[in-house]
Structure 1
Amino acid sequence: MRGNVLVLSISGALGMFSRGMVFPYVPLYIMTLGGQPAEVGIVYALGPLGGLLIFPIAGYLADHLNRAKLIAAAGFAASFIILINVFAQSWEWVAVSRFLWGFIVFHFPAQSAILADSLPPENRGRGLATMNTVSGSAGILSPYVAGLALDYYGVDFGMRILYSVMSVAYFGTALINLWFIRETRDAIDNDISLGNASETLQNAYSGIPDMLRRLPRSMKGLAVIIILAFVANGISGPFWVVYAKEILDLSSSQWGLILLIESIVRSLIGIPAGFVVDRFGRTRFIILSLLLGGAAIYSFGLISGFVAVLVVRCLVAIVTAFISPACGALVADLVPRDIRGRTMAAIGRGTVRFGAASGGTGGPGMGFLITIPLIVASFCGGILFESDPVSPWVLVPGIMTIAAFIAIFFVKDPKDAEI
Structure 2
Amino acid sequence: MSLTFNLRDAIQILRGNFLILFLSWILMRFSDPLTYTYYSLFIIELGGSPYVIGLINSLSNIILALTQPFGGYIADFRGRRKIIVSMSFLLAFSNILFILATNWVHVLIGSIISSFSLIYIPAITAITADSLPQDKRGLGFSISRMIGIFSVASPAIAGFLVLNYGVVGGVKLAYMVSFILYFIAALIRCGLKETIEVNSYSSISASKLMFDVFHGIIDSIRRSSSSVLKFVFVRAFISLPMNMCFPFFLVYAKYVLGLSEIEWGILITLYHFSSFTSALIVGRFIDLFGRRIPLLFSLVSQAVTLPIFLYSNFSILILLFILWAIFDSMLFVSSDAMFADITPRVFRGRIASLLSLFENIFMSIGSFFGGYLYEYLSPHSPFILSMILFFISTVLLHILIREPEVREI
Equivalence for 1:396: 386
The residue correspondences of 1:267-346 to structure 2 (distance < 5 A) are 267-303=276-312, 305-346=313-354
Conserved in 2, the CA contact under 8 Å of 1:146 and 1:253?
no
Equivalence for 1:191: 201
The secondary structure found in structure 1 opposite 2:78 is coil
- The reply on whether 1:233 has 2:242 as its aligned counterpart is yes
Equivalence for 2:161: 149
Distance verdict in 2 for CA 1:398–1:383, change over 3 Å = same
The secondary structure found in structure 2 opposite 1:191 is coil
Q: Within 2, Cα distance between the matches of 1:297 and 1:167?
A: 34
Picking from 332, 339, 361, the partner of 1:372 is: 361
1:146-203 Cα offsets, whole Å, 9 max, x none, are 012101110011111111111111111110001x211122x2113243x444322211
Equivalence for 1:12: 25
Q: Within 2, Cα distance between the matches of 1:268 and 1:55?
A: 31
- How far has the Cα of 1:379 moved from its partner? 1.1
- The reply on whether 1:123 has 2:144 as its aligned counterpart is no
- How far has the Cα of 1:332 moved from its partner? 0.6
Q: Within 1, Cα distance between the matches of 2:286 and 2:64?
A: 31
Q: Within 2, Cα distance between the matches of 1:310 and 1:137?
A: 18
Q: Within 1, Cα distance between the matches of 2:66 and 2:249?
A: 30
The secondary structure found in structure 1 opposite 2:22 is helix
- How far has the Cα of 1:233 moved from its partner? 2.4
Q: State, as a whole percentage, how many aligned pairs show the same letter.
A: 30
Conserved in 2, the CA contact under 8 Å of 1:219 and 1:411?
no
- How far has the Cα of 1:234 moved from its partner? 2.0
The secondary structure found in structure 1 opposite 2:269 is helix
1:120-151 Cα offsets, whole Å, 9 max, x none, are 111111110012102x1111111111012101
Equivalence for 1:168: 180
- How far has the Cα of 1:40 moved from its partner? 0.9
Q: Within 1, Cα distance between the matches of 2:230 and 2:386?
A: 19
Equivalence for 1:48: 61
Picking from 64, 74, 79, the partner of 2:87 is: 74
Picking from 153, 159, 171, the partner of 2:171 is: 159
Q: Within 2, Cα distance between the matches of 1:93 and 1:231?
A: 26
Equivalence for 2:109: 96
Equivalence for 1:384: 373
Q: Within 2, Cα distance between the matches of 1:128 and 1:383?
A: 35
- How far has the Cα of 1:296 moved from its partner? 1.5
- The reply on whether 1:140 has 2:152 as its aligned counterpart is yes
1:78-116 Cα offsets, whole Å, 9 max, x none, are 122211111111111101111222211221111110110
Q: Within 1, Cα distance between the matches of 2:82 and 2:294?
A: 35
- The reply on whether 1:113 has 2:113 as its aligned counterpart is no
The secondary structure found in structure 2 opposite 1:43 is helix
The secondary structure found in structure 2 opposite 1:149 is helix
The secondary structure found in structure 1 opposite 2:408 is coil
Instruction: Provide the aligned C-alpha RMSD in A.
Output: 1.4
Equivalence for 1:253: 262
Conserved in 2, the CA contact under 8 Å of 1:121 and 1:333?
yes
Q: Within 1, Cα distance between the matches of 2:94 and 2:208?
A: 29
- How far has the Cα of 1:219 moved from its partner? 2.3
Distance verdict in 2 for CA 1:192–1:137, change over 3 Å = farther
- Paired amino acid for 2:393: A
Conserved in 2, the CA contact under 8 Å of 1:192 and 1:200?
no
The secondary structure found in structure 1 opposite 2:38 is helix
Conserved in 2, the CA contact under 8 Å of 1:78 and 1:101?
yes
How many residue pairs are counted as aligned between the two chains? 395
Equivalence for 2:193: 182
Q: Within 1, Cα distance between the matches of 2:88 and 2:340?
A: 24
| Structure 2 residues not aligned, in runs of 5+ | 1-13
TM norm structure 1: 0.91
Picking from 255, 259, 264, the partner of 2:273 is: 264
Q: Within 2, Cα distance between the matches of 1:221 and 1:277?
A: 20
Equivalence for 2:396: 406
Q: Within 2, Cα distance between the matches of 1:125 and 1:220?
A: 21
- Paired amino acid for 1:78: L
Equivalence for 2:4: none
Q: Within 1, Cα distance between the matches of 2:400 and 2:242?
A: 23
Q: Within 2, Cα distance between the matches of 1:296 and 1:214?
A: 39
- How far has the Cα of 1:215 moved from its partner? 2.5
- How far has the Cα of 1:254 moved from its partner? 1.2
